[in-house]
Amino acid sequence: MSIQFNHTIVLCRDQAKAAAFLSQVLGLGPPGQFGPFHTVELSNGVSLDFLNVSGEISREHYAFLVSEDEFDAIFRRIEERGIEYWADPVKSRPGTINHNDGGRGVYFEDPEGHLLEIITRPYGSG
Query: Per-block average pLDDT, block size 10, for the chain (126 residues)?
Result: 93 97 97 97 96 94 98 98 98 97 97 97 90
Q: What is the pLDDT of residue 126?
A: 79
Q: What is the pLDDT of residue 89?
A: 97
Q: What is the CATH number of the domain that holds 76?
A: 3.10.180.10
* Cross-sheet strand order for the sheet of 61-65: 61-65, 115-119, 105-109, 85-86
Q: pTM of the entire structure? A: 0.95
Is 1 within the bounds of a domain? no
The count of domains in the chain is 1
What are the CA-CA distances from residue 66 to residues 27, 35, 50 (Å)?
11, 29, 21
Is 125 within the bounds of a domain? no
Task: Name residue 49's beta-bridge partners.
Answer: 9, 39
Is 124 within the bounds of a domain? no
- Give the range of the structural domain holding residue 76, as residue numbers without chain letter: 7-119
